[in-house]
Amino acid sequence: MKLVLATRNEGKVRELAHMLQGMGVELSSLADYPEIPEIVEDGDTFLANARKKAHAVCEITGLPALADDSGLVVEALGGAPGIHSARYAGTQGDYSANNEKLLSEMANVPDGERQAAFVCAMVLAIPGGEEYDVEGRCDGEIARDYRGAEGFGFDPLFHVPAEGKTMAELPMERKNAISHRGRALKNMKKILEGLLSG
């Protein structure tokens, strides 16, 4: 089965490829399709954005497409950055500016009130209009400073109490086991296995 990962984010492609190893799925990503224009994520939920990307890429390539939209939801910030996580500080994908903005917004939030969650909605679009969607979530809290060099995005500031570490301090195997994207993909893998055996 050929499957297009509807993203140009190298960190995301690495994670997804790692988790889909051994499934007999031939992966490509938007890096292999430079002619596909940027898909505007103008939905008001993670699911709406993932759905839009998956269907657009499926339609253009004629292949099954897997898209996710994910982000950080911080209780003390009323759910922000939410669907705007990748461009929280204004520029798409500027991780260090996003992290600096988050630290500054959270500066006066006391310990015990720094709860946050990574949320991921994932959609598989199949030519012909079929669609499958799943969600994953990982709960944690916002650290007061950067820790760890793995991962990407808000990982160095997202502390997982159960692990005693930030996402960026976890080896990829462990991160993939507990992360929002890992949990969503675990559910999606069951769907893919069903489609591959069916």
The DSSP-derived string for the chain is -EEEE----HHHHHHHHHHTTTS--EEEEGGG-TTSPPPP---SSHHHHHHHHHHHHHHHHSS-EEEEEEEEEEGGGTT-BGGGGGGTTSSTT-HHHHHHHHHHHTTTPPTTS-EEEEEEEEEEEETTTEEEEEEEEEEEEE-SS---SSS-TTGGGEEETTTTEEGGGS-HHHHHHHSHHHHHHHHHHHHHHHHHH-
User: pLDDT class for 12, splitting at 50, 70, 90?
Assistant: confident
CATH number at residue 28: 3.90.950.10
What is the pTM (predicted TM-score) of this model? 0.90
* Percentage of the residues of the chain whose pLDDT score is greater than 90: 85
Q: What is the tens place of the pLDDT at every residue in 36-84?
A: 999 999 999 999 999 999 999 999 999 999 999 999 999 999 999 999 9
Q: Which residues are catalytic?
A: 69
Q: How many domains are contained in the chain? A: 1
Residue range of the domain that includes 139: 2-197
Q: Is the pLDDT of residue 101 over 90?
A: yes
